[in-house]
């Protein structure tokens, strides 16, 4: 039974921590993590709730494979109603925090209400209590982890926390754990901040002992690890180059969104690529990249640990940034770099470090800077309003704006509201490169058609991790499809979306799906969990999760018109590269997608669909 069968309910208003049994009927229908936590959320909150009100709840959840030797089995998910999106939010993170929650004997923590003053939750196995966080409020995520470990005299404590961004309710604030892993998207950190919850610190020494069939589990996990090791992407590309392996590839495809999606290729992509991180710098003769790193249980180890150039203008007077730290990953390098036309690798790493330190999603932050730079170039925003000159390509502006946003100072406050609200405020809503108010990640939907539909229909707003058709359209996984056509993409998007739900619900990393199909995951779940976890059942679970999230969003007030891309992607053709002359064909793909989903032309699940899925 991969689950601990135990939930911790924390009422922040009353200051109570109460254990309760996990609803096993729901676990059987939704598996765990993303699926199971979402089920709890939709059952417990009004979909129309203001995300930042005490009536919203925030759930941190593990999956049945979290805390086990299943490769990448260290993930946890934060599920809530998103501050940025007003849709269901589901952000997952690696590192070591999720496994520790499992080792302490819990599957899930449900936070409700709002604490009258800043607190942090401390868990030591069965013991759970809220403690005063007055001395932590105002501290960065990094300082918070260090302070709690020192205070408890226990360096083995694992911690997740919010920084200034979450405290100041920046709408793309994230929750950082283990210094540089994050539940990054949709503003889950702002929800945590709105509840006056600074951090969760866990020490677990009970371990995971409830695997249903340990010999079968060891056999299944060992076989699956071999598949990862033997695969060119997970066995070689990701360990050596990290996700940054994609920078030059996507640029050559003409799908690297540049300068707020004005362009699809970035002339300086090479300078911010994985290859550049491996090159010796002229200033100190060292490479930017120090080493790769793994999250808990991960046999891929795509994580990047780098050292910034100490002579760079951004840090030359700040030795605290000189040590090795996380970054750059592809999404951050793109959002902070190409999206703003900035080709200075060290400046990107500085911005990335501040995002980790203060708890901000670098994708949404970077893309919002891109929108601000376009407004500046159009003369809509002035130097006086921003406080500095902010043309595309300015590394100085990027570094200054990340500081202002992290600290909620001046124009940084406006940036902290995300690009949709920023562009609307200045009368140019169409310049926000977002879906459901969440900024795009690093793939241009004109050069990769299927991902456009995946963005438009993603339940948490624009996102690559809800249906990563790039795997098929670019890398040929599991089969190669033509990125420049819309043909067959609705099926592809649906298949990826449903399968991803299962990976997320299991508690493993979606990057395994470069090598694994559901057939590789199924024996691991089946050996760990009681009950039937056949392929048919897993397909059903994935589709059920998707439709449940959809139902929540519809009840929250979203509709088919929110499943759309900004006009730029539908009317302004790609100027260069293989996709030159193309716009995204989301309007052709969407009706077919709805039909395949068993939804009405208005995007509402039909009664028969709901019945088939047991919803």
Binding site for other proteins (CB under 8 A): 67-69, 71, 96, 99, 103, 156, 179, 204-209, 211, 214, 225, 229, 239, 290-299, 301, 303, 305-307, 323-325
Burial of 474 (0-12, 13-18, 19+ CB in 10 A): buried
For residues 336 and 6, give the distance between their C-alpha atoms in angstroms, rounded to a whole number.
40
| Nearest to other proteins of 346, 374 (CB atom) | 346
What φ, ψ does residue 466 adopt, rounded to 5°? Answer: -100, -15
C-beta of 53 vs 291, nearer to other proteins: 291
**Closer residue to other proteins (CB): 142 or 533:** 142
Strand partners, 10: 17, 111
Cβ of residue 158: shortest distance to other proteins, in angstroms?
Answer: 11
CB of 79 to other proteins, least distance (A): 25
Minimum CB distance to other proteins smaller for 149 or for 407: 149
CA-to-CA distance for 218 and 107, rounded, in angstroms? 21
What sign has the CA pseudo-torsion 513, 519, 523, 528? positive
CA distance 459 to 47: 14
Minimum Å gap between C-beta 296 and other proteins is 6
For other proteins, the closer of residues 160 and 170 by Cβ is 160
- Does 478 sit behind a cis peptide bond, omega within 30 degrees of 0 on the bond before it? yes
Please state, in angstroms and rounded to a whole number, the distance separating the CA atoms of residues 38 and 430. 31
CB 349 within 8 Å of CB 308: yes
Q: What is d(CA 112, CA 135) in angstroms, rounded to the nearest whole number?
A: 23
Distance CA 405, CA 384 (A): 17
Minimum CB distance to other proteins smaller for 296 or for 392? 296
Q: How far is the CB of 325 from other proteins (least distance, A)?
A: 7
- Give the residue with the Cβ less far from other proteins, 215 or 282: 215
CB atoms within 10 A of CB 325: 20
Paired strand residues for 293: 303
Least Cβ distance, residue 508 to other proteins (angstroms): 13
Residue 173 vs 298, nearer CB to other proteins:
298
Rounded to a whole number of angstroms, the minimum distance from the CB of residue 209 to other proteins is: 4
Shortest approach of other proteins to residue 208 CB, angstroms?
4
Q: Compare residues 209 and 317 and give the one whose CB is closer to other proteins.
A: 209
Q: How far is the CB of 27 from other proteins (least distance, A)?
A: 19
What Å distances lie between residue 173 and 84, 129, 134, 415, 517, CA to CA? Answer: 9, 25, 20, 12, 32
Q: Which is it for strands 325-326 and 88-93: parallel, antiparallel or unpaired? A: unpaired
Q: Rounded to the nearest whole angstrom, what is the least distance from the CB of residue 180 to other proteins in the complex?
A: 9
Burial of 424 (C-beta count, 10 Å sphere; 0-12/13-18/19+):
middle
Which of 325, 437 has the CB closer to other proteins? 325
Determine the Cα–Cα distance for residues 224 and 544; give it in Å rounded to an integer: 25
Least CB distance from residue 299 to other proteins, whole Å? Answer: 4
Q: HSE (CB half, 13 Å, CA atoms) of 27?
A: 24
């Amino acid at each position: 039974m991969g689950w601990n069968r135990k939930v911790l309910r924390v009422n922040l208003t009353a200051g109570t921590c109460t254990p309760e049994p996990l609803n096993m009927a729901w676990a059987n229908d939704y598996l765990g993590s993303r699926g199971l936590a979402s089920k709890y959320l939709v059952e417990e909150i009004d979909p129309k709730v203001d995300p930042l009100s005490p009536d919203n709840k925030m759930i941190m959840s593990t999956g049945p494979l979290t805390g086990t030797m299943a490769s990448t089995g260290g993930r946890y998910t934060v599920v809530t109603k998103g501050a940025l999106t007003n849709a269901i939010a589901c952000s997952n993170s690696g590192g070591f925090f999720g496994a520790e929650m499992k080792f302490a004997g819990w599957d899930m923590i449900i936070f409700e209400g709002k604490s009258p003053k800043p607190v942090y939750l401390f868990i030591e196995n069965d013991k759970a209590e809220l403690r005063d966080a007055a001395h932590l409020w105002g501290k960065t995520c990094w300082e918070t982890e260090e302070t709690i470990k020192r205070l408890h005299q226990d360096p083995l404590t694992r911690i997740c926390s919010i920084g200034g961004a979450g405290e100041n309710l920046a709408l793309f604030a994230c929750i950082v754990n283990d210094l540089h892993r994050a539940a990054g998207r949709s503003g889950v950190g702002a929800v945590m901040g709105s509840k006056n919850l600074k951090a969760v610190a866990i020490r677990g020494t009970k371990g995971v002992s409830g695997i249903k069939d340990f010999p079968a589990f060891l056999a299944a996990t060992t076989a699956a690890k071999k598949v990862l090791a033997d695969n060119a992407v997970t066995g070689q590309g990701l360990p050596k180059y990290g996700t940054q392996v994609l920078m030059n590839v996507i640029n050559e495809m003409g799908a690297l969104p540049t300068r707020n999606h004005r362009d699809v290729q970035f002339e300086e992509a090479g300078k911010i690529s994985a290859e550049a991180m491996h090159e010796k710098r002229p200033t100190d003769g060292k490479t930017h990249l120090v080493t790769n790193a793994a999250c808990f249980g991960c046999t891929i180890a795509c994580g990047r640990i780098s050292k910034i150039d100490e002579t760079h203008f951004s840090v030359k007077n700040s030795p605290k940034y000189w040590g090795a730290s996380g970054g750059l990953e592809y999404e951050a390098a793109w959002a902070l770099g190409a999206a703003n036309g900035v080709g200075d690798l060290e400046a990107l790493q500085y911005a990335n470090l501040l995002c980790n330190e203060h708890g901000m999603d670098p994708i949404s932050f970077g893309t919002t800077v891109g929108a601000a730079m376009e407004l500046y170039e159009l003369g809509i925003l002035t130097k006086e309003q921003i406080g500095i000159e902010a043309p595309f390509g300015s590394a100085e502006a990027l570094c200054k704006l990340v500081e202002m946003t992290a600290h909620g100072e001046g124009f940084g406050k406006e940036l902290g509201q995300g690009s949709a609200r920023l562009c609307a405020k200045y009368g140019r809503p169409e310049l926000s490169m977002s879906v459901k108010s969440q900024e795009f990640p690093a793939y241009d939907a004109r050069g990769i058609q299927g991902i456009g539909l995946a963005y438009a229909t993603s339940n948490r707003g624009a996102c690559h991790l809800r249906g990563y058709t790039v795997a098929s359209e670019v890398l040929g996984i599991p089969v190669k499809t033509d990125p420049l056509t819309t043909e067959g993409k609705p099926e592809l998007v649906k298949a990826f979306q449903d399968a991803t739900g299962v990976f997320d619900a299991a508690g493993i990393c979606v990057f395994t799906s470069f090598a694994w199909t559901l057939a590789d995951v199924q024996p691991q779940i089946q050996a760990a969990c009681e009950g039937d976890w056949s392929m048919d059942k897993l397909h059903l679970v994935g589709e059920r999760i998707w439709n449940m999230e959809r139902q929540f969003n519809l009840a929250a007030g979203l509709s088919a018109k929110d499943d759309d891309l900004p006009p730029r992607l539908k009317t302004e053709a790609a100027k260069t590269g293989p996709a030159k002359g193309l716009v995204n064909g989301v309007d052709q793909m969407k009706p077919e997608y709805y039909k395949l989903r068993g939804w009405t032309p208005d995007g509402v699940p039909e009664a028969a669909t709901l019945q088939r899925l047991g919803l």
